[in-house]
Amino acid sequence: MSIKIPRGTQDILPNDISIWQYIEEQARLVFKQFNYQEIRTPIFESTELFQRGVGDSTDIVQKEMYTFEDRGGRSLTLRPEGTASIVRSFVENKMFGLPNQPVKLYYIGPMFRYERPQSGRSRQFTQIGVEAIGSSDPAIDAEVIALAMTFYRNLGLKKLTLVLNSLGDPESRQTYRQALIDHFKPSIDEFCPDCQKRLEQNPLRILDCKVDREHPAMKTAPSILDFLNSESKAYFDQVKKMLDDMGIDYVVDPNLVRGLDYYNHTTFEIMGEGFGAITTLLGGGRYNGLVSELGGPEVPGVGFAFGAERLLLALQAENVKLPVNETLDCFLVAIGDKAKERTVPILFNLRKAGLSADKDYMDRKVKGQFKQADRLNARFVATLGETELEQNVINVKNMATGEEAQIAINELEAYLQKHLKR
């Protein structure tokens, strides 16, 4: 019996890879424009990092982690998200002492969650995200949001909604937390078992529940916005004003609490089209307590992450065509054994000169070689037959214009360089 790919994972095959590479390139471009630098951290970490960093009461830690013991008896976990690892690295490498503050980082890589696989939800998925650690200026909240919107817009997505909320500072959050407990307690028996647990552990997350969404107590729940103290309210107002000033539209949704425990002040999501419904493409927010929670000094941070797979679904749903046509500069066609042999060094020279080029290796007839050139989107086809070989010339055809020329073999590279530029 053949071995199959694990449930909830996918192969990204060569036919689809150019779109992935394009998205990553575009992301790197925007990160550069906003002055964020890449960081790469391990794919597995100590389990404790996520228990503390993501939060014990979250779905991720309670039921979604890929946790295993290694041969040395350590408990390790495949990273379910990026922020905890990056904050660990920030603390471990004492980045809080660097002269360049805030430290503005981005990452691209696979994340792992044991979830029920469905469209837009898999067990291994790719997150692209940023973290700006070290500043509590509301302008940096506005900056990461602007970065995210710029990236999506650059790719050509239009049907986007930026949803914004504030969870306030710890004091505001604490009074709100109590108000929620008081509000839900009388009817908590009518809620799902998860919500019953959440009531004491993390009542904000009841607002997030998909099961009890229609319960009447949900509709009458107090709003966080009525519980923000004056500093938190001023902070939120500034973030909104800066978004207004940049011309970035948003809607405020007081129920946007986000799944993770470490958020305070600004939280946001970007909703878009996907698998036949509106879905969350991106989520982020401010996490002022996380660095100290993970053993560092009191340093604030803000960031977001989006799933590349969901982005692809949104691009499909909006019918966006990305400019990802792979082409080959030149394909060499050989007629006869001697010519075939001669194409080996010719091809090597083209490649050494920096051109992308290929030839036939399947003993195809001339027609088959031309077909292969077509499949590879060759911009030029250079054909070498016995007669040309004797005269040291080669026939070059521009596949777009049909224009043909016979040139000296040793001029092929220069000819291609010149005509490819046009």
Helices (H), 276-411: 290-293, 308-317, 337-352, 366-375, 386-391
Q: Which two tokens stand for residue 231?
A: 């500093």
Q: Which two tokens stand for residue 200?
A: 């004491």
Q: Please identify which residue in 81, 141, 360, 413 interacts with ligand AMP, judged by CB under 6 A.
A: 81
User: Bridge partners of 14?
Assistant: none
Q: Which two tokens stand for residue 277?
A: 């419904």
Q: Please identify which residue in 30, 130, 224, 281 interacts with ligand AMP, judged by CB under 6 A.
A: 281
Subset of residues 305 to 344 that bind ligand AMP, contact rule: CB under 6 A: 305-307, 309-310
Minimum distance, C-beta of residue 186 to ligand AMP, in the bound complex (Å): 31
Under rule CB under 6 A, residue 283 binds ligand AMP:
yes
Ranges assigned E (strand) in 113-214: 124-133, 161-166
**Looking at 92-100, 113-121, 165-173, 182-190, which segment touches ligand AMP (CB under 6 A)?**
113-121
In contact, 182 and 269? CB cutoff 8 Å: no
Under rule CB under 6 A, residue 198 binds ligand AMP:
no
Minimum distance, C-beta of residue 268 to ligand AMP, in the bound complex (Å): 11
CA 409 to chain centre: 46
The residue number whose beta carbon is nearest to ligand AMP equals: 307
CA 171 to chain centre: 33
Under rule CB under 6 A, residue 273 binds ligand AMP:
no
Minimum distance, C-beta of residue 110 to ligand AMP, in the bound complex (Å): 11
**Distance of alpha carbon 326 from alpha carbon 243, whole angstroms:** 38
Subset of residues 287 to 306 that bind ligand AMP, contact rule: CB under 6 A: 305-306
Query: Helix axis angle, 193-201 relative to 170-184, nearest 10°?
Result: 140
Q: How far is CA 410 from CA 268, 322, 385, 392, 395, in A?
A: 59, 37, 16, 8, 12
> With contacts defined by CB under 6 A, how many residues of the chain interact with ligand AMP?
18
Q: Please identify which residue in 109, 259, 336, 385 interacts with ligand AMP, judged by CB under 6 A.
A: 259
Minimum distance, C-beta of residue 166 to ligand AMP, in the bound complex (Å): 17
**Looking at 143-151, 181-189, 281-289, 401-409, which segment touches ligand AMP (CB under 6 A)?**
281-289
Q: Of 259 and 336, which has the nearer Cβ to ligand AMP? A: 259
Tell me the per-residue interface mask from 121 to 160 with ligand AMP, x by CB under 6 A, - otherwise: xx--x-x---------------------------------
Q: Of 148 and 243, which has the nearer Cβ to ligand AMP? A: 148
**Looking at 12-20, 173-181, 280-288, 295-303, which segment touches ligand AMP (CB under 6 A)?**
280-288
Q: Which of 153, 87, 193, 204 is nearest to 315 (CA)?
A: 153
Under rule CB under 6 A, residue 115 binds ligand AMP:
yes
Q: Which of 198, 229, 224, 217 is nearest to 285 (CA)?
A: 224
Under rule CB under 6 A, residue 10 binds ligand AMP:
no
User: Bridge partners of 50?
Assistant: none
Q: Which two tokens stand for residue 44?
A: 């597995």
Pairing mode, if any, of strands 161-166 and 103-112? unpaired
Under rule CB under 6 A, residue 280 binds ligand AMP:
yes
**Looking at 88-96, 119-127, 371-379, 405-413, which segment touches ligand AMP (CB under 6 A)?**
119-127
**Distance of alpha carbon 7 from alpha carbon 240, whole angstroms:** 42
Under rule CB under 6 A, residue 285 binds ligand AMP:
no
Q: Which run of H or E residues covers position 387? A: helix 386-391
**Distance of alpha carbon 365 from alpha carbon 386, whole angstroms:** 15
Residues within the interface to ligand AMP (CB under 6 A): 81, 113, 115, 120-122, 125, 127, 259, 280-283, 305-307, 309-310
